[in-house]
Amino acid sequence: MTVKCPKCKSENTETAAFCAACGTQLPSSRDVNVTQTAETPKKELPAGSTFAGRYQIIEELGRGGMGTVYKVHDTKIDEKIALKLIKPEIAGNRDTIERFRNELRLARKIRHRNVCQMFDLGEDKGTHFISMEFVDGQDLKSMFRMSGSPAVGTVFHIGRQIGEGLAEAHRSGIIHRDLKPSNIMVDTNGVVRIMDFGIARAAAASDLTAEGIILGTPGYMAPEQAEAGEADHRTDIYSLGVILYEMATRRRPFSGDTLQSIAAKQRQGIPAAPHTLNPEIPESLGRIILKCLETNRTDRWQRAEELVTALKTAGQPPAEQSGKSDWKTSIAILPFKNMSADPEQDYFCEGLAEELINALTQIKELRVVARTSAFSFKGKEIDIREIGRKLDVKTVLEGSVRKSGSRLRITAQLINIADGFHLWSERFDRELTDIFAIQDEISAAIMEKLKLEFLHEEEEGMVKRYTQDFEIYNLYLKGLYWRRTLDVHRVKKSIECFKQIIEKDPDYAPAHAALGYAYLALSSYGPVSSGDVYPEAKRSARKAIELDDELVEAHEALAAVHIYFEWDWESAKKHLKKALELNPGYAWIYFHLANIYLWQEEFDNAVAALEKVIDLDPLNVAAHRNLGEVYLYAGQLDKAAEVLGRAIEMDPDFVFTHTLLGFVHLRRQEYREALREIKKDSLMKDLKDQKSGVVYALMGKTEEARRILERYDEPSKDRTNQPYTMAQLCFVLGEDDRGFAWLEKAYQDHDIWTSQIKIDFLLERVRKDPRYMDLLKKIDRSA
């Protein structure tokens, strides 16, 4: 063994303390990570030679940053395989070799037709090598050099296969980290193989910095890699997006001379839509590719399976696409900007946009993004093309409103996402009372520009008008605005608005429906007993249907009463079915269905319903939150944590999301983390206290839990107890009699949380108690 001098590179004996040539102190053998061998590692192997006593060299296949790859005949198994000889400057590091060994141990577990099989890590006379499956074909990099842009079908074909290989690897918890054309092989039968799984992570961890050694081509790196952040499965999805972009356009989305220059462009720029560079590329494919390339990984495809599904759907003939809307007929309507002096006019600007959304959802050929997602960009300075891509649409309508006295100025622009050009724009200077005519004119202009036909051409306007009284209409918009904030005080203000409308016009059906739903919002997270508002909620919803059986919101409101106050899920389904017949694109109907499925332990159906909500309303935080809740109660805790984390990234203050993530930690017995998340929630303090008491009890802090129990045990004007949560607290403390007393009170008070009795893991210990069985039969009539 010899030790190389770090200064002059002279060889010294392993026992020497100082370099014989220059006198520099030598590191001791214990500290040296570089193993010097008596034999010089082989740098190349000639054809016909034998390596390691078993591999007959057939030919060299290529060279890269890691080393040289050979096609060989393995005489031991009588098969052709591939050998990658690792460069000495990499293989000489003992830590790196150990990492290779560990990573390959994982990579060998991947068994998939689109992943090249890794075999073993070996060493012969100082030369380290990796043996792997031999793929007879050529890599994508060579294909790029030899031909122009591949046919569109080839892009779909190759993209799907890479995605399927990645999906299998990601399911095994393995990330590639260095996906690029030279690592993608296409064999002679057209089957794609992803190469070198397990190699990138080991090499990246070696701390080697010499040029040509560190893996990862800058042009294919995700932004988080370029910024030395943690890579995850979405990092691979970004790299695949670059590959697909290059296949489609013959150029990369971002280029530059250095990693830093490319990273800067990734952060600041938006790549050109692929179809603008290659007219043969369908816009649907371009949309899929651009979603892979989102700077923020939460905006990309979240799973390779989702990407594969999108490629399969977009690559099918139109008749096979399950009736999905083409991207060419899709629109997002943003909340109109308030240009008035009074910031309180925001409600009117949002209401105007929402009315247009409701009108346009009646057009069969048009996909209209739901309000929640479209309005999520309010107040944010984001390029309109980026908004269009995030919402999966080709066109966006934006505008502004200025109110001054009785005068109204509205501007509206319909924008094409592909190039940012205006398809139509108009300014309306009118009286306030002309608002309904303006809405119809804007809707008609959109239909004309997008070449669409309205379903009910016999009707005079786009939507049914329930009043021509501007004051009533104005109050209605204001009430909706306050109700959606989920703030208790503002919800109460919304109730006052709806009551004022009904006093002025008792036959105004939308106000009755909205009032019924406002009572539900008030009792969900506020200090109001469900029993106090349930009768009013039901009366209002029934009145709305009595006035207009064709009003979607009326059926939604009554269904909500049946679901959350009465647990009459079969009756609820009838009204939800009617609502879907009236408006199949109304996302919240699927949201309510998902809750019914969840509480009946039909977890797969609940997931499907929430995925439908997200398809219609991709940035709906409540849908993402509830999807995490389904995974929580289904026992899929990793998925629950992932989805809830994504919901928190979308909106850190959205009510109950942190508490659900806290319950994921609770099921994992990570009590401190559970408590931390619950305390972050925007729930009212009393409810947070009671949820925290549950955690204290389970983590062994029973005195703290009992203090909370006693504090809320009796009703008080200064405190609000939630009967169902109090029952949970009693049960985890072993106070079963008190727990069932609170559970009975929850039932009598129509406490909406009682719906989860069948799936609640905190009640697991008392499920065989006759009192539990009796109550379950009352609540879940299918039990």
DSSP letter for each residue of 95-158: HHHHHHHHHHHHHTT---TTBPPEEEEEEETTEEEEEEE---EEEHHHHHHHSSSPPHHHHHHH
Residues 266 and 147 in one domain: yes
- Number of CB atoms found within 10 A of residue 33's CB: 12
Residues 6+ apart with CB under 8 A from 19: 5, 7, 8, 10, 12, 25, 26
Count of structural domains, the chain = 2
Euclidean distance between CA atoms 290 and 287, whole angstroms: 5
pLDDT score of 246: 92
Tell me whether residue 568 is in a domain: no
pLDDT score of 716: 60
Mean of pLDDT values over 228-249: 91
pLDDT score of 210: 38
- pLDDT, one tens digit per residue, over 482-537 is 888 767 788 899 999 999 999 999 999 999 999 999 998 887 766 677 878 899 99
Tell me whether residue 695 is in a domain: no
Mean of pLDDT values over 60-88: 88
To 10 degrees, the CA torsion angle through 519, 781, 741, 704?
-70
Mean of pLDDT values over 646-671: 93
Euclidean distance between CA atoms 253 and 242, whole angstroms: 7
Mean of pLDDT values over 619-632: 94
pLDDT score of 573: 94
Residues 302 and 185 in one domain: yes
pLDDT score of 29: 39
Q: How confident is the model at residue 70 (pLDDT cuts 50, 70, 90)?
A: very high
Query: Contact, 422 vs 415, CB < 8 A?
Result: yes
- Answer with the residue of higher pLDDT: 437 or 49: 49
SS3 of residue 520 by DSSP: helix
Residues 256 and 218 in one domain: yes
pLDDT score of 114: 92
Tell me whether residue 405 is in a domain: yes
Q: Tokens 């109700």 — which residue?
A: 483
Tell me whether residue 236 is in a domain: yes
Residue finishing a domain among 263, 297, 320 = 320
Query: Contact, 246 vs 120, CB < 8 A?
Result: no
Residues 352 and 457 in one domain: yes
pLDDT score of 36: 38
pLDDT score of 717: 59
Residue finishing a domain among 419, 435, 465 = 465
- pLDDT, one tens digit per residue, over 271-303 is 888 988 888 888 889 989 999 998 888 889 999
Q: Give the least confident one: 317-326, 348-357, 494-503.
A: 317-326
SS3 of residue 484 by DSSP: coil
Beta partners for residue 124, in sequence order: 127
Q: How confident is the model at residue 115 (pLDDT cuts 50, 70, 90)?
A: very high
Among 40, 41, 235, which residue's Cα sits nearest to residue 122? Answer: 41
Mean of pLDDT values over 605-613: 91
pLDDT score of 33: 38
pLDDT score of 489: 84
Residues 155 and 292 in one domain: yes
- Highest mean pLDDT (candidates 420-429, 434-443, 550-559): 550-559
Euclidean distance between CA atoms 130 and 196, whole angstroms: 10
Position 320 pLDDT exceeds 60: no
Beta partners for residue 376, in sequence order: none
Radius of gyration in angstroms for the set of CA atoms belonging to the chain, rounded to a whole number:
32
Query: Contact, 156 vs 307, CB < 8 A?
Result: no
pLDDT score of 461: 44
- What's 375's domain CATH number? 3.40.50.10610
Tell me whether residue 44 is in a domain: no
pLDDT score of 198: 62
- pLDDT, one tens digit per residue, over 358-378 is 878 877 778 888 888 888 888
pLDDT score of 767: 93
pLDDT score of 13: 61
Query: Contact, 646 vs 615, CB < 8 A?
Result: no
Residues 196 and 280 in one domain: yes
Q: How confident is the model at residue 309 (pLDDT cuts 50, 70, 90)?
A: confident
Euclidean distance between CA atoms 115 and 123, whole angstroms: 24
- Answer with the residue of higher pLDDT: 782 or 345: 345
Position 326 pLDDT exceeds 50: no
Position 205 pLDDT exceeds 50: no
- What's 294's domain CATH number? 1.10.510.10
Position 206 pLDDT exceeds 50: no
pLDDT score of 212: 36
pLDDT score of 2: 66
SS3 of residue 320 by DSSP: helix
| Per-residue three-class SS string for 549-616 | CCCHHHHHHHHHHHHHHHCCHHHHHHHHHHHHHHCCCCHHHHHHHHHHHHHCCCHHHHHHHHHHHHHH
Share of the chain above pLDDT 70, in %: 86
Average pLDDT, the chain: 84
Tell me whether residue 516 is in a domain: no
pLDDT score of 628: 96
Query: Contact, 375 vs 335, CB < 8 A?
Result: yes
The CA-CA-CA angle for residues 493, 498, 499, to 5°, reads 95
Residues 168 and 260 in one domain: yes
Residues 305 and 350 in one domain: no
Strands 395-404 and 337-338: parallel
Position 715 pLDDT exceeds 70: no
pLDDT score of 34: 36
Q: Quick one: DSSP state of residue 461?
A: S
Q: Which two tokens stand for residue 446?
A: 């959109």
Residue finishing a domain among 404, 435, 465 = 465
Residues 316 and 334 in one domain: no
Q: Give the least confident one: 83-97, 639-653, 725-739.
A: 83-97
Q: How confident is the model at residue 208 (pLDDT cuts 50, 70, 90)?
A: very low
Residues 333 and 312 in one domain: no
Among 373, 381, 337, 291, which residue's Cα sits nearest to residue 651? Answer: 373
pLDDT score of 572: 95
pLDDT score of 200: 54
Query: Contact, 284 vs 367, CB < 8 A?
Result: no
Q: How confident is the model at residue 731 (pLDDT cuts 50, 70, 90)?
A: very high
- Answer with the residue of higher pLDDT: 34 or 2: 2
Share of the chain above pLDDT 90, in %: 41
Query: Contact, 516 vs 540, CB < 8 A?
Result: yes
Position 32 pLDDT exceeds 50: no
Tell me whether residue 337 is in a domain: yes
Euclidean distance between CA atoms 241 and 155, whole angstroms: 11
Q: Give the least confident one: 363-367, 437-441, 659-663.
A: 363-367
Q: Give the least confident one: 90-94, 240-244, 731-735.
A: 90-94
Residues 157 and 256 in one domain: yes
pLDDT score of 709: 94
Q: Give the least confident one: 196-205, 293-302, 467-476, 700-709.
A: 196-205
Residues 154 and 303 in one domain: yes
Q: How confident is the model at residue 737 (pLDDT cuts 50, 70, 90)?
A: very high
To 10 degrees, the CA torsion angle through 441, 446, 452, 453?
-20
- pLDDT, one tens digit per residue, over 563-599 is 999 999 999 999 999 998 888 888 899 999 999 999 9
Query: Contact, 540 vs 557, CB < 8 A?
Result: yes
Tell me whether residue 14 is in a domain: no
Domain ranges, residue 243: 137-320
Q: How confident is the model at residue 458 (pLDDT cuts 50, 70, 90)?
A: very low
